[in-house]
């Protein structure tokens, strides 16, 4: 998925695509995909850790802490 890419432009494209999907009534609700929601939150946390490194320290996620539906 583009959000997991190391390339900045692919991440921007993925966020733009999610924004369009959010307002499209013909697309399934994003809430039906908990893995996608978890990935967006991880991306947001990583972005916050870059902007505010003292407040939002980026830590490694252990296997037991990963989302399981």
Please provide residue 66's backbone torsions phi and psi, each rounded to the nearest 5 degrees.
-65, 155
For the segment 1-5, the average pLDDT, to the nearest whole number, is 68
The neighbour count for residue 14, using CB atoms within 10 Å, is: 18
Q: Is the pLDDT of residue 64 over 50?
A: no
> Based on the structure, what is the number of domains in the chain?
1
Q: Would you give the DSSP letter of residue 7? A: -
Q: pLDDT class for 63, splitting at 50, 70, 90? A: very low
- Tens digit of pLDDT for each residue in 24-40? 878 776 666 777 778 87
Host domain of residue 11:
2-65
How confident is the model over 46-61, as pLDDT tens digits? 888 888 888 888 775 5
The pTM of this model reads 0.54
CB < 8 Å & 24+ apart, contacts of 32-38: 34/67, 34/69, 35/67, 35/69, 38/67
Identify which of 2, 34, 42 has the alpha carbon closest to the alpha carbon of residue 18: 2
């Amino acid at each position: 998925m583009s959000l997991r890419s190391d390339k900045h432009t692919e991440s921007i494209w993925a966020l733009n695509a999610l924004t369009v999907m959010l307002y499209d009534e013909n697309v399934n609700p994003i809430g039906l995909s908990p893995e996608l929601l978890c990935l967006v939150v991880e991306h947001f946390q990583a972005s916050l850790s870059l902007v505010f490194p003292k407040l939002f320290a980026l830590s490694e996620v252990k296997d037991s802490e990963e989302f399981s539906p």
